[in-house]
Structure formats: C-alpha cells, structure tokens
Amino acid sequence: MLKDEQIVWAIRQMEDDIGPVGPSLDSRTPFQYLISVILSAQATDVSVNKVTPILFAKYPEPKDLMSAKVEDVEQIIKSVGLFHNKARNIIKTAGVVHTKLNDVVPETRKGIMELPGAGRKTANVVLSDVFNQPTFAVDTHVSAISKRLHFVDEKANPLQVEKKIVSVMPPEELHQAHHTMIEYGRKYSMKIDPAKETNQLIIKCDELNAENEKD
C-alpha cells in the first residue's frame, strides 16, 4: 500500500490534472440538493439533472413533494435507475423534513441517515457540498481509484476507503479531493490492463507500491 504522504501526493497530482472542479449536481435549496443526491444513487448526475428541473418545478418544497402521488413522481424520474424505490423514498423524506424537522435539512450525518433513502454516502455529500463540513463520500469512482492506486486493499469496503482518505488529507481539502477523484475516475479507466498502462500517475503509484513492499 502507499504511505500516507504518498496518497496525499497522488490526490494532489489528480487535482493538477483535472483542475478546479465542484459538484456536478445542480445546486438548489438544501432540501432539493438532498433529494438530488438521493436520486443519484446508482445513477449518473447527468440523468438526475435532466429530471430534477421538472420535479422541483412541480414540487419545490417538502410540503409539496410529501403530498405527491407516487405514480406522478415515478413518471417524472422514470429515466433514473431504481425509480420505483426512489419515488417512494423522496416522498417519505419530504414528509419527515416537513412534519418533523420544520423544513430544515439535518446538518449531522446521523440526522440525514435517518431519512428514507439516505445512506452514509448521501449524508457525506450533503454535509460537504451544502454545509461545508469536512466529510468525504465514497462512490464507485473513488473506490476504484483508491484500490487501483494502492491507497487501500483491493477488498476494502467504502467505509474503509473513506476512513483512509479522511485520515491522511487535511480536513479543508476533503471537499476538493472528493470531486477531483470523481472527475479523475470519469476521465480515466481504473480497470486498464497493467500491460498496456499509459497513465503516468498509475504507473508511478505502482512503482511506489512495489518499493514499499520491499521495505
């Protein structure tokens, strides 16, 4: 595995490659952003951004969405993966936010994770993007990069990846690191045949890993 300082170096190399980058989900109110993140699970941000303008034009506030018919919401978001479950979850979440939280999105991981359809990744994204908290969300891109560049073991789960990155990066850099790694994963495949590898950062990380294993 790479040493802590090597992981920091690698992430900063990615930032130099990608350049400044931020959230790719359309920014709206905290509630609407929460709903967008829930919808983005196992779906692309592009697909979510295509349906949310329609969804929020019809149901802009929690009280509006909580009263929606599941079938009507499904019709709007049907191009997004798992739309049946997501329609039910976002309606339930809207109800909780309106009736129990006075239309205020929780600013704690525990509070967000108690909402229907919102797991740890959703909570971390919302806390970072909306509330500027030093959290780090792990999606498929982040996980693939972390394993391919030897940040963590191949068998590491998302929580282990999260804890590793959080333990080595300065808190104020976690937000940028998350979005950089996502864009890096979109730009480069993390499943390239090592024999045909052309990505210089991957080659360098492979070399560092080999040297570390000799120590």
Domain span at 157? 4-21+137-213
Catalytic site includes residue 139: yes
Catalytic residue among 86, 121, 129, 164: 121
Compute the distance between CA of residue 126 and CA of residue 111 in angstroms, rounded to an integer: 11
Distances (CA, A) of 66 to 61, 88, 114, 174: 9, 10, 17, 33
Contacts of 74 (CB under 8 A, 6+ apart): 83, 84, 87
The per-residue pLDDT for range 143-178, each reduced to its tens digit, is 999 999 999 999 999 999 999 999 999 999 999 999
Catalytic residue among 86, 129, 139, 164: 139
pTM listed for this prediction = 0.93
Q: What is the CATH number of the domain that holds 144?
A: 1.10.1670.10
Residues 86 and 149 in one domain: no
Residues 13 and 41 in one domain: no
Residues 36 and 121 in one domain: yes
The per-residue pLDDT for range 12-58, each reduced to its tens digit, is 999 999 999 999 998 789 999 999 999 999 999 999 999 999 999 99
Compute the distance between CA of residue 209 and CA of residue 202 in angstroms, rounded to an integer: 10
> What was the pLDDT predicted at 190?
66
